[in-house]
Amino acid sequence: MGSRDDNLPVIDFSTFDLKPGTPEWDSTRSLVLKAAEEYGCFQAVVRKFPDGLQPAINRSLDEVFELPLEAKRRNVSEKPFHGYFASSNVNPRFESLGVDHPETFSRIEKLTNALWPEGNTYFSKTLHSFCDEISKLDRSVRRMILESVGVDKYLEQHINSTYYTFRMMRYESPETIDRTVRMKPHTDKNIVSIFHQNDIDGLEVQTRDGVLWLPANFAPDSSFYVVIGESFRAWTNGRLHSPLHRVVMTGGDHHKARCTAGLFSVPRDGHIVKAPEELVDENRPLLFRPFDYAEYLKLRFADVDKAVVPSLKDYFGV
């Protein structure tokens, strides 16, 4: 990792004995920390994913975005960037739906019944199973990072201070063969984001030095991309990198949309994001003031249409 012609790191989570305390866990943990520090992003290969679940989530993504607009608008939320998100001048020909606490089946059913009043059991079961599997990867990644930086005594507290939100996203294919930005460069604001996609690529991640955009090429039916969010960067006092990333697509003959599913670990309402004291010293002074994540989202949402959106450091930097 680190050379100018490198791809983004690829880390295999399919080892049979990948359990805490084993040599396999320790070696994978080292790779995860290195990737999170240098790139803030890596491809996680998970070959033990249940057979048929990734094709099923692709089918569900197609199904939900084929719904009429009035149905999708029934996916509502009081929180910024939650619920149905339609195309805008900033991100044209893009739409997204989401649900909080997808690990709870009743929350998935509530979304499903809002979209399909007659019900859709296949959709509900697929989303719930998918989120259950991806949440295991999220917890493994976060445990590895906390162990690596020596603050694993806070693991239970850290996990309990967050919840999951699930989003389905669709990027329409450009009508031209020219490279077209479908999602402008941005950082994620949460803890960790994990993405699955259909067979259309487009995700690009900027290197930490800002020199290159690296393509995030997914391996068919076995890989996910893990992206470190700004809140995790703040919690580790800048130890991790939260990368700028974007979606760039070309059109041509296929004109097929790019559909993705993302699971996001998010600080709970009212939780103050604050670096543990063990990660702050004279050699590594505090970089960010403690902040309420919900307040951060409100500030960020108010600035969403600005040409240059302020960073976390602009809002809460010391």
Residue 234 contacts residue 291 (beta carbons within 8 Å): yes
pLDDT surpassing 60 at residue 316 = yes
Q: Is 106 exposed, middle or buried (0-12, 13-18, 19+ CB in 10 A)?
A: exposed
The domain tally of the chain equals: 1
Query: Considering the domain boundaries, does residue 139 fall inside one?
Result: yes
Domain CATH code at residue 63: 2.60.120.330
Weakest-pLDDT range from 134-143, 183-192, 246-255, 303-312:
303-312
pLDDT on residue 1: 41
Only one residue has tokens 């790779």, namely 31
For the chain, counts of helices (H) and of strands (E): 9, 13
Query: Considering the domain boundaries, does residue 5 fall inside one?
Result: no
Query: Considering the domain boundaries, does residue 4 fall inside one?
Result: no
Q: How far, in Å, CA of 277 to CA of 114, rounded?
A: 45
Query: Considering the domain boundaries, does residue 137 fall inside one?
Result: yes
Weakest-pLDDT range from 100-114, 195-209, 256-270, 296-310:
296-310
Query: Considering the domain boundaries, does residue 2 fall inside one?
Result: no
State if pTM tops 0.85: yes
Q: In b/e form, how buried is each residue of 39-66, taking b as 16+ CB within 10 angstroms?
A: bbbbbbbbeebeeebbebbbebbeebbe
Question: Could you tell me which of 247, 254, 156 has the C-alpha nearest to residue 195?
Answer: 247
pLDDT on residue 2: 37
Angle between helices 23-38 and 121-148 (to 10 degrees): 90
pLDDT bracket for residue 252 (50, 70, 90): low
Q: Classify strands 223-228 and 203-206 as parallel, antiparallel or unpaired.
A: unpaired
pLDDT surpassing 60 at residue 11 = yes
Query: Considering the domain boundaries, does residue 111 fall inside one?
Result: yes
Query: Considering the domain boundaries, does residue 30 fall inside one?
Result: yes
Amino acid at 115: L
pLDDT surpassing 90 at residue 34 = yes
Q: How far, in Å, CA of 91 to CA of 103, rounded?
A: 29
Q: How far, in Å, CA of 141 to CA of 152, rounded?
A: 12
Full domain range(s) for residue 24: 10-316
Dig out the tokens for 281 from the structure: 């010293």
* Average pLDDT value for residue range 40-62: 92
Of residues 134 and 174, which shows the higher confidence score? 134
Query: Considering the domain boundaries, does residue 65 fall inside one?
Result: yes
Q: How far, in Å, CA of 115 to CA of 94, rounded?
A: 19
Q: What is the pLDDT of residues 66-118, one digit of tens each?
A: 999 999 999 998 877 788 988 776 667 899 999 999 999 999 999 999 999 99
